[in-house]
């Protein structure tokens, strides 16, 4: 038996079984349900507005039901997304390695042997993303500048 935070004892085998089931089954199902629920809610609101407009006799714009077009991200936005990914993965790798360094004997819900490898892999991916960011920034400097000029001219 293992004692957790709130003086609750849980069988380790049960915990090692429930955590992966929760992460691999319950969490994805909950995410899909939340996304589909809010999409359905938005469609119902549009339908309600349309019905009220029809009842009152006001003309309805046919573009109202067309999905919103998302503009393509600019080169600068793509580079910033890469930089964000590099920061997140690098910091996660460092955090895993630090946790493993300060708590080498702890069995983090059976992740004890996994932490140094995951930390090293995440840190390597983060460093690779930093390299990609800086190389891309240098190679695309002229294109980014031209894109910014074009955006400024449109305003």
Residues 9-21: tens digit of each pLDDT: 667 777 777 878 8
Domain ranges of the chain: 1-68, 70-155
Rounded CA separation 82/87 (Å): 9
Give tens-digit pLDDT for 69-126.
Answer: 777 888 888 899 999 999 999 999 999 888 888 877 766 555 667 778 888 999 999 9
Which candidate, 135, 144, 138, places its Cα nearest to that of 86? Answer: 135
The answer to whether residues 73 and 98 touch, using CB atoms and an 8 Å cutoff, is no
Specify the pLDDT at position 125: 96
Give the pairing type, strands 9-10 and 2-3.
antiparallel
Tokens 């630090």 belong to: 98
Tell me the pLDDT of the chain averaged across its residues.
83
| pTM, rounded to two decimals | 0.57
pLDDT tops 60 at residue 45: yes
Secondary structure (3-state) at 2: strand
């Amino acid at each position: 038996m293992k004692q957790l935070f709130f003086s609750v004892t849980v069988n380790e085998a049960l915990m090692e079984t429930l955590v992966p089931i929760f992460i691999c089954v319950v969490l994805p199902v909950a995410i899909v349900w939340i996304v589909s629920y809010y999409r359905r809610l938005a469609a119902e609101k549009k339908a309600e507005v349309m019905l009220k407009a029809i009842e009152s006799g006001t003309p309805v714009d046919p573009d109202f039901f067309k999905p919103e077009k998302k503009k393509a991200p600019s080169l600068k936005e793509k580079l910033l997304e890469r930089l964000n990914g590099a920061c997140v993965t690098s910091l996660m790798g460092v955090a895993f390695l630090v946790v493993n360094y300060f708590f080498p004997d702890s069995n983090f819900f059976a992740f004890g042997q996994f932490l140094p490898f995951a930390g090293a892999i995440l840190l390597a991916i983060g460093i690779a993303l930093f390299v990609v960011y800086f190389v891309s920034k240098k190679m695309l400097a002229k294109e980014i500048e031209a894109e910014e000029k074009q955006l400024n001219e449109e305003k």
